Amino acid sequence: MWVPLIRSVSRRNLRKHDLIIRFSSVSSLSQLTFSDVSDSSSDENCPIPQQNHSTNSIEHAHQVFDRYTLIETLQHLERKPKTALFLITHLKECGFMHDVVTYMAIIRFLCYRGMMRKLKVLFLEVIENKNGVFGFEVFDLFEELLKEINVDGNNLLVRAVDVLVKAFISVHQFDEAYDVLLKIQGGFLLSVLTCNLFLNRLVEEGKVDMAMMVYQHLKMKGFLPNVYTYGIVVKGLCRTGCVKEAGDVLESMKEAGAEPNMFTFGSYIDGLCSNGYTDSAFELLKMLKEPGSLIDVFAYASVIRGFVKELKLQDAENVFFNMKQAAIVPDAYCYGALVQGYCQRGDILKALDLHDEMCSKGINTNCVIMSSIMQCLCHMGMSSEAVYQFTNAIESGVFLDEISFSIAIDALCKLGKMGEAMMLLEEMKRRNMNPDVKLYTTLINGYCLQKDLQSALNIFNEMNEKGVKPDTITFNVLVGGFSKCGLFEETNILLDNMLALGLEPTSATYDIVIEGLCKGGKAKEAEAFFNFLERKSSSNYAAMMNGYCYTKNVKEAYELFLKLSKEGKERLLSAKASCCSKLLSCLCEEGETDKALMLFKTILASDNGPSKIMYSKLQSAYCQAGDIRMARWVFDMMIARGLMPDVINYTIMIYGYFRASCLTEANYFFNDMINRGIQPDVVTYTVLFDGESKVKRKSSTRGESGREEMGLSRYLTKLQEFVPDVICYTVLIDYYCKSNNLKAAICLFKEMIDRGLQPDTIAYTSLISGYCYDVSLHSSSHWPFASRPRPSPSPPPRSLPLPAAHS
C-alpha cells in the first residue's frame, strides 16, 4: 500500500522537468539498465539530451522532489517503468538523499514490475554501503518489509525477502542471510529455489553444520523440501562423514512421498565413495541399474574414482565394464579416473591404452589427464616421452594449464634442454599464465645441473623482479649448485642473502652445503663449515659422513661415527639409514669387516634396524673374505628380525658356500630358495654354473665328471631362458677355455660384442689363456680382437653350446 501523499505535483509540473531527469546513469544504480523493460507510452521515443550536471539542475531537482513527491511520482509512473528508472537513477546521481521510505517505494515498484535482478542490485548497494552514503542499514529495509507483509498481507513483497537473502548469499554474508530466516514471522516462507540455493552454497563453502541448522529451522517453519533439497542435505552429510545420517535422510524422503532422482542418488553414491564405502556404493549402483532407472554417468564416475582412491583398479575396471553394459557412455571423468589410477600404480602402458581408447571415441582429453600421464612418465625416468605427450597435446589443440606446462618444463630440465624449457616459459607468459616459485625453482635447478650458474642467477633475479618471492627450497637449490661447483665463498653469500630475506636456513640447507662442497672437491671447506655450525643435527653429522664417503675418506667417516658413539649419539645417527648404509658399504668394499660389523650391530640395536641392502652388503663382504660362518650369521639374523630373504641374499650364500667348497650347503640353499617360491635369476644360475664347473675340474681326476656334466647341462639349459649379462658370458667363456673348447669360447665372445656388451678384463684374460693352451688355433684368422664395426645389439641366442663331453 502506498504511503499517503502529503504533497501533490501536477502532471504539467512533472512534464516541465521531464528533460532534467532523463539522464543516463553513472552511479551504482546505473546498473538498473533499461533493456528489459518497455514503456507503452510515447515516452520511449523521447530523445535523451546530453548530460549537463550543472549546479542549477541539481538544485532544481532538489526543489521539485522530496521523499513524498518521489513516492507519488513513482505511483504515477507505474505503467512507465523506463521513465521511472530514469528518475531513480538521476536523482541518485544528483545527490538526492534517500531514506527508508523512498527506498521502500522503489522496492515496491521493482517488485510489482518483476524486476528482481534490479532489486538485487539495489539491495547490494545498501549492503555494501560504500563511504557510508546511506543513513540506514539494509535490515531497516527488511523490518519495513516484514511490517507490510505481516500487517497488510502484501504477499508480493515476499519476493523481495527472497531477493534480499540471495543478495546476502552472493557476497558470502551467510550469517546475515540466516538472520533473515530467523526474523521471519507469520505464515510465509522463502521459495524452495532460494532455500536450496542457500543450503547448497553453505555445503560448497564447507559450512555443513550451518547448512544443517538452516535445514532444521526451515523444517520447523513448515518448509516442504523437494527432491533437490534432499540431495543437497545428503551431499552435505556425506562430506562430513555422516553416511548413516545421509541414508536416514533418503528414508525420510521416501516416507514423505518424494522419489529420489539422479541428483539425490548421485549425491549419496558419491558420498559413500568419498568415505571409503565404495563397495556398498557399487552394490547400490547395480541394484538401481534397472530399465528406466535414474542412474547417470556421474554416479558411475564416482564409484570408479572411489575404487581408484582405494587402489582397487580391477574393481574400477569392472565398474567401467558394467557401465558399458548398461549402455551408459563413459565420459572424460570416468576415463580420467582410470588413467590416474594406473599412473599412480606406474602402469603407464595401460594408462596410455585407455587414453588412446578415449580419444578414439571422440571424447576430448583435458589438462588433468595429460598432467597425470606426463607426471607418471617423468617418475619412470621417461622425460623424453613426457615432452612428446605435451607437444602432441598442444598441437592437437588441447588446453593445458600451468601444471601441465610445469611438468613439461621439469622434464626438459632433466633432459638438459634448457633452451626449450625457456621457450615454454615464454609461451606461458604469452598465454597470461603466471609462473610460480615452484616453476622458477625448477628452472634454477635445471641450470644448476648443467653447472650454468650465471643463467641460474638470471632466473633468480627475474623471479624477484616479477614479485615472486623465493622460498627455502629455491635457496637450497642455488646453494647446492654453487657448492657442487666448489664455490665456497659464493655459497656463504647466498646464505647471507637468504637471511636478509627473512628465510632461516634449515638443517637440510646445511646438509646440502656440506655434501655439495665434498662433491665439488672442497672437503676441507666442508669440514670447516661443519665444525662452524654451533648446533649440529643428526642429519648434519650424516651429511658430513656421506661427504667423507664420497671423497673416499672412509677412515674419517668411521672416526666420526666412533665419536658419536662415545657421546651416546649413535642412535640419532642410526636413524639416518642412507648414511649408515653408505658407510657400511664403503667399509665392506675396503674389507673392513670388523668395523662394518660394529656399525651393523649399532644399527641392529636401533629402532629401525638394518635394511635388506645392509644385510646383503655385510653378507657379501664376509663371503668375499671367506668367512662363511659370519655370512650365515647375518643371513639367520635377517630371518630372526622378520625380514624375508630374497634372490640376492640366497645367491650371495650360494656363492659363499661354493667359494668354501661346501657343495652340500650350496645346494641346500638353492633348494630352500625354490621351496620358498623365490625364483632364481640369471646371476643365481651363473653362480651355480661357475661354482659347479670349478668343482668339476677338481673332481675330474676322481672319475666323477659324468655326474657333474649333467648338473652343468641343467644350469646351462636354465641360462638359455635369460638374457646373458657380461658376468654370465665371462663365466661361460672361462669355462670353455679351460675345457679346451676354444671355438665355443670364441663364438660366445663374438656374440657378446655383437649384442653391444663390453667384455671385461677377466673375459679377455680367459680367452688369451685359452689361446696360449691351444697352439693349433694360433692363426690370426681366428683372432676375435681384430678391428671391425660393432653391430647393433641382437636378441639373445636361441641356445648356448653345451659343454663338450670328455673321454
Confidence of residue 694 (pLDDT cuts 50, 70, 90): confident
Count Cβ atoms within 10 A of the Cβ of residue 93 and give its class: 0-12 exposed, 13-18 middle, 19 or more buried: buried
Confidence of residue 338 (pLDDT cuts 50, 70, 90): very high
Q: What is the pLDDT of residues 66-98, one digit of tens each?
A: 555 666 666 666 666 666 666 666 566 565 666
pLDDT on residue 281: 87
Q: Please identify which residue in the block is written with the cell numbers 620358498.
A: 676
Q: Measured between alpha carbons, how far is 635 from 513 in angstroms, rounded to an integer?
A: 38
Q: Is the dihedral of CA 771, 774, 780, 781 positive or negative?
A: negative
Where is pLDDT greater, at 129 or 454? 454
Three cell numbers, residue 667:
645346494
Where is pLDDT greater, at 290 or 758? 758
Q: Is the dihedral of CA 197, 200, 206, 210 positive or negative?
A: positive
Long-range contact pairs involving 386-395 (C-beta distance under 8 Å, separation at least 24): 386/411, 387/411, 387/412, 387/415, 387/420, 393/365
**Range from 103-112, 346-355, 717-726 that averages highest in pLDDT:** 346-355
Q: Measured between alpha carbons, how far is 304 from 324 in angstroms, rounded to an integer?
A: 13
Confidence of residue 577 (pLDDT cuts 50, 70, 90): low
Where is pLDDT greater, at 132 or 459? 459
pLDDT on residue 154: 62
Instruction: Say what percent of the chain tops pLDDT 90.
Output: 40
**Under 8 Å between Cβ of 299 and 322:** no
Confidence of residue 287 (pLDDT cuts 50, 70, 90): confident
**Under 8 Å between Cβ of 263 and 227:** yes
Q: What is the pLDDT of residues 679-692, one digit of tens each?
A: 989 899 888 888 88
- Range 308-333 average pLDDT: 89
Confidence of residue 186 (pLDDT cuts 50, 70, 90): low
pLDDT on residue 732: 86
Count of CB atoms within 10 A of residue 543's CB?
26
Q: Is the pLDDT of residue 780 over 70?
A: no
Indicate the pTM of the whole model: 0.69
Where is pLDDT greater, at 180 or 805? 180
Least confident span in 436-440, 532-536, 802-806: 802-806
Cα distances from 96 to residues 43, 89, 90, 102, 121, in angstroms, run 23, 10, 9, 10, 18
Q: What is the pLDDT of residues 235-270, one digit of tens each?
A: 999 888 888 888 888 888 888 887 777 888 888 888
**Under 8 Å between Cβ of 30 and 92:** no
Q: Is the pLDDT of residue 793 over 70?
A: no
Q: Is the pLDDT of residue 544 over 90?
A: yes
3-class secondary structure per residue, 17-43: CHHHHCCCCCCHHHHCCCCCCCCCCHH
Three cell numbers, residue 15:
512534464
pLDDT on residue 253: 83
pLDDT on residue 723: 83
Q: Is the pLDDT of residue 491 over 90?
A: yes
Where is pLDDT greater, at 390 or 35? 390
Q: What is the pLDDT of residues 493-504, one digit of tens each?
A: 999 999 999 999
Q: What is the pLDDT of residues 631-659, one digit of tens each?
A: 999 999 999 988 899 999 999 999 999 88
* Half-sphere CA count of 336, side-chain side, radius 13 A: 16
Least confident span in 176-190, 209-223, 357-371, 710-724: 710-724
Q: Is the pLDDT of residue 112 over 50?
A: yes
Where is pLDDT greater, at 104 or 513? 513
pLDDT on residue 132: 61
pLDDT on residue 740: 81
Where is pLDDT greater, at 107 or 569? 107
Q: Measured between alpha carbons, how far is 440 from 270 in angstroms, rounded to an integer?
A: 38
Q: What is the mean pLDDT of the chain?
A: 80
- Of 726, 784, 727, 719, which Cα lies nearest the Cα of 750? 784
Residue 774 DSSP SS3: coil
Three cell numbers, residue 598:
660394529
pLDDT on residue 603: 82
pLDDT on residue 373: 96
Q: Is the pLDDT of residue 788 over 60?
A: no
Q: Measured between alpha carbons, how far is 45 from 512 in angstroms, rounded to an integer?
A: 78
Confidence of residue 402 (pLDDT cuts 50, 70, 90): very high
Helix (H) or strand (E) holding 710: helix 705-719
**Range from 427-431, 694-698, 714-718 that averages highest in pLDDT:** 427-431
pLDDT on residue 401: 94
- Range 507-516 average pLDDT: 94
Cα distances from 35 to residues 39, 125, 198, in angstroms, run 11, 20, 29
Long-range contact pairs involving 171-180 (C-beta distance under 8 Å, separation at least 24): 171/124, 171/127, 171/128, 172/205, 173/127, 174/198, 174/201, 174/202, 174/205, 174/207, 174/210, 178/210, 178/213, 178/214, 179/139, 180/142
pLDDT on residue 360: 93
Strands (E), 117-222: none
Three cell numbers, residue 242:
555422516
**Under 8 Å between Cβ of 293 and 262:** no
Q: What is the pLDDT of residues 460-473, one digit of tens each?
A: 999 999 999 999 99
Can you state the angle between helices 538-550 and 507-519, rounded to 10 degrees?
10
Count Cβ atoms within 10 A of the Cβ of residue 688 and give its class: 0-12 exposed, 13-18 middle, 19 or more buried: buried
Three cell numbers, residue 316:
574400477
pLDDT on residue 35: 37
Within 257-347, residue ranges assigned H as helices are 262-274, 278-288, 297-309, 313-325, 332-345
Q: Is the pLDDT of residue 797 over 50?
A: no
Where is pLDDT greater, at 31 or 707? 707
Helix (H) or strand (E) holding 355: helix 348-360
Q: Is the pLDDT of residue 518 over 80?
A: yes
**Under 8 Å between Cβ of 69 and 37:** no
pLDDT on residue 14: 36
If phi > 0 it is left, if psi is from -120 to 50 it is alpha, else beta; for residue 270 that is alpha
Q: Please identify which residue in the block is written with the cell numbers 501533490.
A: 8
Where is pLDDT greater, at 760 or 13? 760
Q: What is the pLDDT of residues 116-159, one digit of tens each?
A: 888 888 888 888 876 666 667 888 888 888 887 776 656 678 88
Q: Is the pLDDT of residue 453 over 60?
A: yes
Q: Which residues contact residue 413 at a Cβ distance below 8 angstroms, ignoring those fewer than 6 apart?
A: 421, 442, 443, 445, 446, 449
pLDDT on residue 537: 85
**Under 8 Å between Cβ of 433 and 400:** no
Q: Measured between alpha carbons, how far is 550 from 483 in angstroms, rounded to an integer?
A: 15
Q: Is the pLDDT of residue 482 over 90?
A: yes
Structural domain spans, the chain: 711-807
Phi, psi of 231 (to 5 degrees): -60, -40
Amino acid identity, residue 289?
K
Q: Is the pLDDT of residue 505 over 60?
A: yes
* Half-sphere CA count of 408, side-chain side, radius 13 A: 26
Count of CB atoms within 10 A of residue 581's CB?
17
**Got the DSSP string for 82-126?**
HHHHHHHHHHHHTT----HHHHHHHHHHHHHHT-HHHHHHHHHHH
